[in-house]
Amino acid sequence: MKNRALSIKKLSVSFKMNGQYYKAVDNIDLDIMENEVFAIVGESGCGKSATAMSILRLHNENYTKIEGEINFGGKDLVSISEHGLNKIKGKEIGMIFQDPLSALNPLHRIGKQIEEMFVIHTNLNSLDRKNRALELLEDVGIPNPEIAYNSFPHELSGGMRQRIIIAIALSLSPSLLIADEPTTALDVTIQAQILDLMRDLKEKSKASVILITHDLGVVAEMADRVAVMYAGQIVELANVDEIFENPKHPYTKSLLSSIPRKSKSTNRLNTIFGSVPDLMNMPRDGCRFSSRIPWINEKEHEENPKLQEIEPNHFVRCSCYKNFHFQDSSIEKVKEKE
Amino acid sequence: MWKTTFRRIIMLIPQLIGVTLLIFILAEFMPGDAFSGRFVEDPTIGSEREEELRELHGLNDPWHIRYTRWVGDMLSGDFGLSLVHRRPVLEMVAERIGNTLLLSIVSIVIIYSFALPLGIIAGKNWDKPSEKIISFYNFVQMSIPTVVFAIVLQWFFGIILGILPLRGSIDVRVVNGTFFEIWGSRLQHVILPALSISLLSGVSVIRFLSNEINEQRHLDYTVTARAKGLSMDKVYRNHIFRNSMLPIAATSGSLIAGLFSGVLIIENIFTFQGMGQLFFTSVSQRDWPIVNFLVVFYSILTMAGFLISDIMLTIFDPRIRIK
Ligand SMILES: Nc1ncnc2c1ncn2[C@@H]1O[C@H](COP(=O)(O)OP(=O)(O)OP(=O)(O)O)[C@@H](O)[C@H]1O
Ligand code: SF4
Ligand SMILES: [Mg+2]
């Protein structure tokens, strides 16, 4: 049994709106193991970023409430002092963001932005800092490290900028890397390159990775385990093969079936209706998903669906997945083909 | 960068032609000229002699000839004679430019030395009591017209406290005194007019800077900086403040340009012997050579103000540097 790199217990994240707190992440439990890639998937607004940002408490503290525990290296990141957390940020937990242009300071040269990590966390002198920065630039596949070192962010392409962000995140060899939609803002061809790079670097560094995405292709390629989130809750959690081969929760099924498949038998996508309700209008009692599958009979819904382990290491919220079917029968057709 | 700057300077030429034409045309439409009504009480000069004088000074030439003559003279460094005082315009301006410069520089120093810290405090503490207090101060300051504010200052410091001179630019008794006496007196005289100008102009700096800081704080790069392990204080110092200074640099030109018009008015209220006062006296005496010179002079200063802030922007913002 591997050790836990990060252990999240009963985590809730609430945002203050009109003077009231609304939970965007509602009581989730997650264990990230050492050296694994753990993916969190779900539609826009389901709370993926809110979860990731809460690990390093990056939200605006005036408008955010974090409850629960986040255990990392024997410390609880929710209750640790600001000072204590600053020593972990960047050094032990690295972060990769979605938009590599806005994530870099437009007025600082690339070299300075990388070296800032060494300034904060090490005693390296300026020459060593520069050498390390150039090495890092080379490690992340920048063709001309010297030039990139002296460039400003706007002078580089999106793919190059994301490599810079990765270089910053990896500069102090953190044991955990959080990547929040690292490829979403990039061109398709660049996406593949960045994923390859991340996989290589991950192999070398043995870090654990929390990979947030709504691209199931990325999940299939990168992840060891997957958590599917819906409306601030985890609805299904399993190994990546299990999720793809044996999805249980209606939401997971619909996510999977909404990827266009090559199989010819179905030309209709099994999409579910609507989108994630916003925080102020989210149902807080009972099932949050039932309104999106109106063709399922009232009686078949559970009153308060709970996450349960239906097979070893495969967790699903609700038991009524047993009766679930899509509105049309095309999902069966897909199954038959497979 | 030099290329951009050079291009900017070249572009000033058509602007200058436009400004001089405009001034000339405006002066043209003003009723009367330097000689009208001047000799009513002088029996030795009849209307015929007055007409002769006009002819002599070229006032009857067609407008385009007078315009090119005026511009040509200025280009060759000849700014003409004051029609009223019969002295070179340049000499009269030179006597006063020192005072105006002193007033402007002191004002700029006051503006930035109180507005930048207040802007930073308000920006850092957005939505907190200290920001509310500063916003309230801004509001009060903005709702008082400069003239009223100047008079209140005169009343309070000059009359109630009696510690600062009410008007003038120097105490006549020290004009021939030592260096320290002269400068002591000049500084004393410049404080109230400078305060009147700068407290109001500073409001825009405070508001601009605090808004900018509050906006920058929510941008992604500050999240990156925090994720690196920087304390919030250092995120402010190393990232947010510098980035927020950009628009301040960008608007410094218009601020300084606006300052000039403030100076014009304030000099009159304080009968401060500067160019603003000269300007108003000259307008009322229809002493066009002086008025025209001053307007051109101020236009050039204003354009220079904008040019300087453009250059500052290219220095501070790598995104608009041209390779
Ligand atoms: N700072 C905030 N203040 C108020 N509400 C917020 C804030 N940040 C996020 N939310 C809300 O919390 C919910 C979850 O947002 P979150 O950003 O975690 O979604 P996400 O799963 O990352 O989606 P995406 O795929 O769009 O990034 C959304 O309803 C969002 O509107
Ligand atoms: S109660 Fe169960 S079946 Fe019904 S919507 Fe919720 S999770 Fe799905
Ligand atoms: Mg997100």
What are the boundaries of each domain within chain A? Answer: 4-223, 247-337
The Å distance, Cα B5 to ligand 3 centre, comes to 43
* Spacing of C-alpha A255 from chain mean position: 16
- Whether the CB of A159 is below 8 Å from some CB of chain B: the reply is no
Task: State the closest ligand 2 atom to the C-alpha of A290, by its place in the atom list counted from 1.
Answer: 5
Stated length of chain B: 323
B188's tokens:
């004393």
What's the CA-to-centroid distance between A287 and ligand 2, angstroms? Answer: 6
- N-term to C-term CA, chain B: 7
Q: Which residues surround ligand 3, an ion (CB under 5 A)?
A: A 49
| Residue B121: half-sphere exposure toward Cβ, Cα within 13 Å | 12
Distance CA A326, CA A253 (A): 9
pLDDT in tens, A109-127: 999 999 999 999 999 999 9
For the CA atoms of B214, B216, B219, B222, the dihedral, rounded to the nearest 10 degrees, stands at -100
Taking alpha carbons only, the member of A36, A38, A28 closest to residue A3 is: A36
Task: Give burial (CB, 10 Å; 0-12/13-18/19+) of A261.
Answer: middle
For residue A102, give the nearest of B127, B219, B228 by CB distance. Answer: B219
Cα atoms in the 13 Å half-sphere on the side-chain side of A212:
21
End-to-end CA distance of chain A, in Å? 33
Distance CA A253, CA A256 (A): 5
- Half-sphere exposure (Cβ direction) of B48: Cα atoms closer than 13 Å: 1
**What distance separates the 2 farthest-apart alpha carbons in chain A?**
70
All structural domains of chain B, each given as residue ranges with its CATH number in brackets, are: 89-320 (1.10.3720.10)
Instruction: Report whether residue A48 contacts ligand 1, using a CB cutoff of 6 Å.
Output: yes
H-helix segments, B125-178: 129-143, 146-153
Residues A260-284, mean pLDDT to the nearest whole number:
64
**Cβ pair A103:B221 closer than 8 A:** yes
Q: What is the ipTM of this complex?
A: 0.88
Query: What pTM, to 2 d.p., does this model score?
Result: 0.83
Whether residue A252 has its Cβ less than 6 Å from ligand 2? no
Q: Which two tokens stand for residue A158?
A: 């999106």
Asked whether the beta carbons of A337 and A256 are under 8 A apart, the reply is no
Beta strands A176-180 and A208-212 are parallel
Is A165 an 8 Å CB contact of chain B? yes
Instruction: Kindly give the number of the ligand 2 atom that is closest to the alpha carbon of A303.
Output: 1
Q: B223-243 burial by CB neighbour count: b if 16+ within 10 A, else e?
A: bbbbbbbbebebbbebbbbeb
B245 CB neighbours in chain A (<8 A) are none
**Closest Cβ opposite residue A107 in set B220, B223, B318:** B318
Joined together, the tokens standing for residue A36 give: 């694994």
What would the two tokens of residue A208 be?
């654990």
Residue A263, helix vs strand vs coil: coil
Our CA angle for A84, A86, A89, nearest 5°, is 120
pLDDT digits (tens, 9 = 90+) for A75-117: 999 999 999 999 999 999 999 999 988 999 999 999 999 999 9
Single out the residue of A304, A306, A270 nearest to residue A287, CA to CA: A304
Q: What is the CATH number of domain A4-223?
A: 3.40.50.300
DSSP, residue by residue, A246-258: S--SHHHHHHHHT
Q: Which two tokens stand for residue B79?
A: 């700014």
**pLDDT one digit per residue (tens) for chain B, 323 residues:** 677 778 888 888 898 888 888 888 887 777 766 666 666 666 777 777 777 877 777 777 888 888 888 888 888 888 888 878 889 999 999 999 999 999 999 999 999 999 999 999 999 999 899 999 999 999 998 898 888 999 999 999 999 998 889 888 888 888 888 889 999 999 999 999 999 999 888 998 999 999 999 999 999 999 999 999 999 999 999 999 989 988 888 778 878 877 877 888 899 999 999 998 999 999 888 888 898 888 888 888 888 888 888 887 777 788 875 44
The residue to which tokens 């004002």 are assigned = B107
Q: In terms of residues, how long is chain A?
A: 338
What is the residue with the minimal CA distance to atom 5 of ligand 2?
A290
